[in-house]
């Protein structure tokens, strides 16, 4: 039998992803009573680990990199070990015509393409340095940058392959295409995470290490500390707020609270009815935040045959259907695996005709040989089809959203506060950003109690 909900607490948190857990832990530590209402039957949200063959592997967020201090400290405190992402051997670039090996960060381009790519990256770094991650709309030239999409910027790249590589990097980081994103928002996002190269790389970058037993282990252990405060299978539908009091209505009943923190992705937050409705400006902003689309395909094998050929398993493909491939073996090699990302438009096509991994296996066989056609099992997560995420890894902002609404996703509405990685000013879009946002929301709430 399900435990009854408390009638009243100091703080209700909606969502038990890393942002909701961080909010709840900080409120609890400050002496507040807390209830966390989570729609799914598990915690972790966009971080989700599942048994795939002989190991528990990640179908959602899975990497931790330098500079993600909160996540690093939490992982250490909870006793979850990490291990380096496999990056030994040559990488492959499939430019849609032929596939070649390369080493280093930027794939084997011709000398002019390389110069063009380096110049474009340096220019992006210079532009990014002028943009505020906390309040992008206050940056110099904000209106002009916000009126452009990232595609307007990418048009400067004349080489087909350099542009293709840029698009692949965007798809992997955002699950979205250059034409969907405000250039201003993109620069703020890069600023929050240390630049495009830091977000794209394995060694020294955001893909540097993985979690032994899967990233959800961190959320599970944290949730265990919060105990009964976490209520699973409890979607929230409506928040009624009056001066000094909130009532949160969900499928498991209603709870009264002094404050509520909504820690879900912006498009899903917009589906929770506020009574009375929040300010139109916030709603207009949220309407312009759209989730990216990624299908993560883990293909498990008997043997890591690519390693035997001195290949790292990493592929960048301009041909598709998967745009990026990584080695995804378990830390102890008990379960060898490759991981293929189908992203942006290709992911949306997948959602329309789901679960056909055949073209991905054909693609892997082209890179690694026929053995790639004989997996022991395949696990797939189509994040756009997940009712409580509706896309991933992050919501991207359309042009003119930030400057025309003149507000941020973080602004509270009366006693209603907002967390979630999209509201972060450090590592927006990442687990680290979710943690930062939860700590910030908890500070707001505790000040107000
Ligand atoms: C495929 C993929 C790969 C990624 N790779 C990485 C990576 O390697 N490293 C990294 O740092 N980040 C990565 N990310 C991003 C990272 O997972 C997210 O930034 C982070 O987990 C977001 O946490 P959050 O708490 O803000 O939101 P979420 O994790 O989305 O949590 C929100 C929670 O709210 C719940 N919810 C939604 N609506 C309601 C409702 N109405 N009522 C109650 N509950 C509700 C959801 O079920 C969910 O549990 C990846 C994401 C994906 C999907």
Measured in angstroms, how far is the CA atom of residue 18 from the centroid of ligand 1? 7
The domain made up of 109-198 has a fold known as Guanine Nucleotide Dissociation Inhibitor; domain 1 (1.10.405)
**Residue from 15, 426, 442 to probe ligand 1 pocket by mutation (most atoms less than 8 Å from CB):** 15
As annotated, the residues of the chain forming the CATH 3.90.660.10 domain(s) are: 49-65+82-88+206-212+293-385
Q: What pLDDT does residue 235 have?
A: 98
- What number is the average pLDDT over the span 170-199? 95
CATH superfamily placement of domain 8-45+216-278+413-448: FAD/NAD(P)-binding domain (3.50.50.60)
Contacts of 34 (CB under 8 A, 6+ apart): 9, 10, 11, 12, 13, 24, 27, 28, 226, 229
On the question of pLDDT at 1 being above 60, the answer is no
CATH 1.10.405.10 placement within the chain: 109-198
Name residue 99's beta-bridge partners: 94
Residue to mutate (ligand 1; options 383, 393, 439; most atoms within 8 A of CB): 393
The proportion of the chain whose per-residue pLDDT surpasses 90, expressed as a percent, equals 86
Per the prediction, the chain carries an average pLDDT of 94
CA distances from 164 to 109, 158, 174, 178, 369 (A): 11, 10, 15, 11, 25
**Rounded distance between C-alpha atoms, residue 233 and residue 250, angstroms:** 10
Q: 351: CA distance to ligand 1 center in Å?
A: 19
Q: What is the DSSP string of 397-431?
A: EPTTHHHHH---TT--BTTEEE-SGGG-SSSTTSH
**49-65+82-88+206-212+293-385, CATH topology level:** Polyamine Oxidase; Chain A, domain 2 (3.90.660)
Distance 377 CA to ligand 1 centre (A): 25
Which pair of structure tokens corresponds to residue 4?
Answer: 């009854």
Rounded to whole angstroms, the Cα distance separating 237 from 151 reads 37
Which of 5, 17, 222, 231, when mutated, tests ligand 1's pocket best, judged by the most ligand atoms within 8 Å of its CB? Answer: 17
Query: Which of 41, 47, 65, 424 to mutate to test ligand 1, by most ligand atoms within 8 A of the CB atom?
Result: 47
CA of 373 to the centre of ligand 1 (A): 31
Instruction: Measure 293 CA to ligand 1 centroid, in angstroms.
Output: 13
pLDDT digits over 199-250, tens only? 988 999 999 999 999 999 999 999 999 999 999 999 999 999 987 789 999 9
At 73 the pLDDT is 98
Region of poorest pLDDT, from 6-15, 153-162, 233-242, 422-431: 153-162
CA distance 417 to 437: 11
**Where does the chain hold its CATH 3.50.50.60 domain(s)?**
8-45+216-278+413-448
For position 108, what pLDDT does the model report? 67
Answer whether residue 270 shows pLDDT above 90.
Answer: yes
Helices (H) and strands (E) in the chain, counts: 16, 22
170 alpha carbon to ligand 1 midpoint, in Å?
19
Ligand 1: which residues within 6 Å by Cβ?
14-20, 37-40, 45-47, 60-63, 235-236, 263-265, 268, 272, 294, 296, 383, 388-389, 392-393, 420-421, 429-432, 434
**Looking at ligand 1, which atom is closest to the CA of residue 68?**
11
CA of 259 to the centre of ligand 1 (A): 22
Find tokens 């220019």 and name the residue: 123
Window from 98-102, 271-275, 313-317 with minimum mean pLDDT:
98-102
CA of 17 to the centre of ligand 1 (A): 6
Confidence (pLDDT) at 380 = 96
Q: Which residues pair with 256 in a beta bridge?
A: 8, 247
């Amino acid at each position: 039998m399900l435990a009854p909900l408390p009638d009243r607490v100091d703080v209700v948190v909606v969502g038990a992803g890393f942002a909701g857990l961080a909010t709840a832990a900080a409120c609890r530590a400050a002496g507040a009573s807390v209830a966390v209402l989570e729609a799914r039957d598990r915690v972790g949200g966009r971080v989700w680990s599942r048994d795939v063959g002989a190991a528990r592997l990640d179908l959602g967020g899975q990497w931790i990199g330098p500079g993600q201090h909160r996540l690093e400290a939490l992982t250490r405190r909870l006793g979850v070990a990490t291990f380096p992402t496999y990056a030994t051997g040559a990488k492959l670039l499939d430019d849609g015509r032929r596939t070649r090996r390369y080493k280093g960060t930027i794939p084997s381009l011709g000398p002019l393409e390389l110069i063009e790519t380096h110049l474009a990256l340096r220019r992006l770094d210079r532009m990014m340095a002028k943009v505020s991650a906390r309040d992008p709309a206050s940056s110099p030239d904000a209106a002009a940058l916000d009126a452009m999409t990232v595609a307007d910027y990418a048009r400067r790249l004349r080489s087909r392959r350099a542009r293709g590589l840029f698009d692949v990097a965007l798809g992997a980081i955002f699950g979205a295409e250059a034409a969907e994103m405000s250039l201003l928002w993109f620069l703020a996002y890069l600023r929050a995470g240390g630049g495009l190269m830091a977000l794209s790389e394995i060694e020294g970058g955001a893909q540097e290490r993985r979690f032994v037993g899967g990233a959800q282990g961190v959320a599970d252990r944290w949730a265990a500390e919060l105990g009964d405060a976490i209520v699973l299978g409890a979607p929230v539908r409506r928040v009624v707020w009056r001066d000094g009091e909130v009532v949160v209505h969900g499928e498991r009943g209603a709870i009264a609270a002094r404050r509520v923190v909504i820690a879900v992705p912006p498009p899903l937050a917009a589906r929770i009815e506020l009574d009375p409705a929040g300010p139109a400006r916030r709603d207009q902003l949220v309407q312009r935040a759209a989730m990216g689309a990624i299908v993560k395909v883990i293909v498990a094998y008997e043997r890591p045959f690519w390693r035997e050929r001195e290949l790292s398993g990493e592929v960048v493909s301009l041909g598709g259907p998967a745009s990026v491939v990584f080695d995804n073996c378990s830390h102890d090699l008990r379960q060898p695996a490759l991981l293929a990302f189908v992203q942006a438009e290709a992911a949306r096509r997948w959602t329309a005709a789901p679960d056909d991994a055949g073209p991905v296996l054909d693609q892997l066989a082209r890179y690694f040989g026929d053995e790639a056609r004989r997996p022991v099992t395949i696990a797939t997560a189509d994040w756009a089809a997940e009712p409580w995420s509706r896309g991933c890894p992050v919501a991207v902002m359309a042009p003119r959203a930030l400057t025309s609404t003149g507000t941020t996703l973080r602004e509270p509405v009366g006693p209603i506060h907002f967390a979630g990685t999209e509201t972060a000013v450090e590592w927006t879009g990442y687990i680290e950003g979710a943690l930062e946002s939860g700590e910030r929301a908890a500070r707001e709430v505790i000040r107000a109690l």
